[in-house]
Chains A and B, each alone.
Chain A
Amino acid sequence: MTDWNALSDEAFRRQVRTFFETEYPEELRHLPHRAKFAEIRQWHEKLYAKGMVAPAWPVEYGGMGLEASKLLIFYEEQQRWGVTRGRDMGVQMVGPLIIKFGTQAQKHYWLPRILTCEHIWCQGYSEPGSGSDLASLRTSAVIDGDYFVINGQKIWTTMAHDATHIFMLVRTDSHARTKQEGISFLLAEMNQPGIEVRTITTLAGEDEFCEVFFDNARAPRENLVGELNKGWTMAKALLGFERIFIGAPNLAQNALVQLRTIAQGRCMFSDPVFRDRFAKVALDVEDHAALYSRFADQLKRGEMLGPDVSMLKIWVTETFQEITELMIESAGPDGGLIGPLQLGNVGVDVLANFYKARPTTIYGGTNEIQRNILSKAVLGLPG
């Protein structure tokens, strides 16, 4: 087992960079779409062999246990080389949930299977009538002997058609006093008669999001994570993980690398107006990373993240969008082109980046919801 934190930051960067440059398949660099597992299986096996699947997990659960500075380096190198994030919902969301709230048996069973990708996870939160007002969710799970019986519908479930399992918020007590009470966290297998998945085609023309229908689907009672009816509290605690994940610099860094490729290919760095705009977004990304590392350090010290973590998501997603606007401008008359814009022997898919940036200000709690949270829970503004 490598003790990554024993390396100097520079040595760590060199190792990660060399590994990506020598091992990552050329045809998967800067993938314009969200990869299915079959496409990236071999890459995942290489990561797994190196023990590099879960950079932020503690070492005792098979993670790299990276301190914040190294976690940032890992992400930077990933983006620099255009390495896919993979099918990482298990690593980013379910793992932290189980590590934090799961029983020993649950940790023992689920965590290794996340690392091997024997299980591939999707997240069942939103419902057709419960977007920003998530706590109004209606998908129900009723105890029947050793099982929960699940009925209802989830929507915007990312890559559900390529997932083996779903972790979801379900209503387990419909008579609770408030809508937040009576919600539980449940894990379920996707491949069963009671579950049907339909893909939703996005503006980008990709089948990335899904609707998931539950018609008497079943999950064993031991798949309940944490206490019955306490799911909302846990979901809120988990939001810290989700919001630092969706507030990470990755996407913006990656877009910046590609903007640079276009700008170099089109000799735009000789234009002072473009230089200023490039410097502005590049510094927006760099200073965001400084803020991000403060939160990542907090997490590393074992502290829970507070509602202030929402600021990361607001800043980085809006910066990401600004970068993709600059990419379109830089493409000039090719700004409406589908597929890669060829610049010498490299190609940059301008619109894939642009489309990818659109939902970032919507998912995981819209940026308007994040602003409401910061306003009330951090600034203490009234009403």
Chain B
Amino acid sequence: MSNVRAHSQDDLRMLRGSVRTLFERAGGIARARNARDKGWDRQVMNELAHAGVLGVAAPEAVGGLGMGLTAAGVIVEEVGRALTPEPVVSAIALAIGMIQRVCPGDAMLATAISGKIACALAWQERGLRGYSDQMACRFDGKVLNGSKAWIAGAVGADQLLVVAQNDSKPVLVALDADGKGIYSELRRQSDGSQLCDIGFVDAPGKLLAEGSVVSEALSTVVADATALAAAELVGVSAKALELTLDYVKTREQFGKPIGSFQVIQHRAVDLYVAQQVAEAGVSEALARMDVSADQGARIREASRAKARACSTAKRITRESIQLHGAVGYTDEFDIGLFLNRALVLSAWLGDAAYHRARWMDALEANEAGR
């Protein structure tokens, strides 16, 4: 799209380097363990905001960096590599992505990009196909009633952005997360994060936007979040593979490193090749989404990315445990943290099989339309 600023490979390398440094200084992978009890860290989110990360994909005109999904993908790969607990993808793609599209003039956009407030977008009720007129959540102009499920980034959020209906028109409503009539249920996930479902009973909210702009924006941001979740998974599997390669080079049995055995070598190579294919496929998908205004094509690319990233991360994180042997099954070794994050990211916004099905549908729809 035209609001994506051209950027060079050098720009992206610098961006990657600075984000990587930021996460290392914050404490690296150890934070994934701490987050089990403490959740994500407001301070780190503020540093990310200060570095411009939260507005990376938002146009410059609304205070973002205007670097598109390509640059956002580079950032969230680093999020994946460091097992960063902060909900970066949901902030960039869902919350800020939604506000920038449906109400770019609202003061909430600047405060969200600057990290002053954390927002979470609540849209799913059942299924993953974006806005549906079957939605049970109703807004009457003042209060919201109904429930939302699987709300990413809800724990620790200041504002909830809820997609609902008013007189069969789609609406986007903002609520204070600690306001009246909000009942949340948390369920713990394998990486220590919490799945959040929320029920609303006469919860007071403010209308941000209504009409087809809401439903169209929702399709766009869900596709974006899907593709960025794929990029985060690519980061998870990249780092898991690195740790595993280091391990097989140093772990000795029968008087030599296990990485000198051909059976280990060939398995390591297969994981490496799979990872390279995933990196190439996902980054091409993000680049295509940046230059396409065709919703169908963008959804197809997002599904392509997520299908690839899920299947690759699944394979690499499982095989990494096997190649680590018994210590891979311990909580003490870091490799298990990558498996646990991959489980959560794969389940979020649709797994490989779901996205292969959607990719096929989109392919046929595209050909039928030609």
Chain A interface (Cβ < 8 Å from any Cβ of B): 269, 272, 275-276, 278-280, 282-284, 286-288, 290-291, 293-294, 308, 311, 314-315, 368, 371-372, 374-376, 378-383
Instruction: Give CA–CA (A308, B279) in the complex, Å.
Output: 14
**B353 on interface, CB distance cutoff 8 Å:** yes
Known contacts A283-B308, A283-B359; A383 and B280 CB within 8 A of each other: no
B273 engages A381 (CB within 8 Å)? no
Whether A381 contacts B304 by the Cβ 8 Å rule is no
Contact present for A279 and B272 (CB under 8 Å):
no
| Distance (whole angstroms) from the CB of B242 to the closest CB of chain A | 10
Q: Which residues of B contact A (CB under 8 A)?
A: 245, 248-249, 256-257, 259-262, 264-266, 268-270, 272-273, 276-278, 280-281, 283-284, 304, 307-308, 353, 356-357, 359-360, 363-364
| Contact residues in B for A311 (Cβ distance below 8 Å) | 272-273, 276-277
Q: Within the complex, which residue of B245, B257, B281 is in contact with A291, where a contact is CB–CB below 8 Å?
A: B281
A381 CA / B246 CA spacing, docked (Å): 9
Specify which chain B residues have a CB less than 8 angstroms from the CB of A288 in the assembled complex: 277
With beta carbons under 8 angstroms apart, the residue of B248, B262, B284, B307 that contacts A290 is B284
With a cutoff of 8 Å between Cβ atoms, the chain A residues found around residue B266 in the complex are 368, 371, 375
Pick the residue among A279, A294, A315, A383 that contacts B360 (CB under 8 A): A279
Is B280 within 8 A of A381, CB to CB? no
Q: Which residues of B contact A283 (CB under 8 A)?
A: 281, 304, 307-308, 356, 359
Between A and B, 20 residue pairs with Cβ closer than 8 Å are A279-B307, A279-B357, A279-B360, A282-B363, A283-B281, A287-B281, A287-B308, A290-B280, A311-B272, A311-B277, A315-B277, A371-B269, A374-B272, A375-B269, A376-B265, A381-B265, A381-B268, A382-B249, A382-B257, A382-B260
User: Nearest-CB distance from A315 to chain B (Å)?
Assistant: 6
Residues of B within 8 A of A293 (CB): 280, 284
Check A383/B359 contact, CB under 8 A, given A290-B281, A372-B262: no
Give the docked Cα–Cα distance between A136 and B313 (Å).
41
Pick the contact of B259: A272, A374, A378, A381 (CB < 8 A): A381
- Are B260 and A279 in contact, CB atoms less than 8 angstroms apart? no
Which residues of chain A are near B269, meaning CB under 8 Å? Answer: 314, 371, 374-375, 379
- Return chain B residues, CB-CB under 8 Å to A280: 356
Q: Which of B245, B257, B272, B363 has its CB near the most chain A CB atoms (within 10 A)?
A: B272
Q: Which A residues lie within 8 Å of B276 (CB)?
A: 291, 308, 311
Instruction: Give the docked Cα–Cα distance between A376 and B266 (Å).
Output: 10
| Given known A287-B304, A371-B266, contact A379–B272 (CB-CB < 8 A) | yes
Q: Which residues of A contact B262 (CB under 8 A)?
A: 372, 375
Give CA–CA (A154, B143) in the complex, Å: 83
Bound-complex Cα distance A361 to B277 (A): 18
- A284 contacts across to B, CB distance below 8 A: 277
The smallest C-beta distance from B194 to any residue of chain A, in angstroms, reads 31
A383 touches B256 (CB 8 A): yes
Bound complex: CA of A372 vs CA of B277, how far in Å?
19
Closest beta carbon of chain A to B307's beta carbon, Å: 6
Inter-subunit contact A275/B357 (CB<8 Å)? yes
Bound-state CA distance A136–B284 (Å) is 42
Query: A381 contacts which chain B residues (CB < 8 A)?
Result: 245, 248-249, 257, 259-260, 264-265, 268
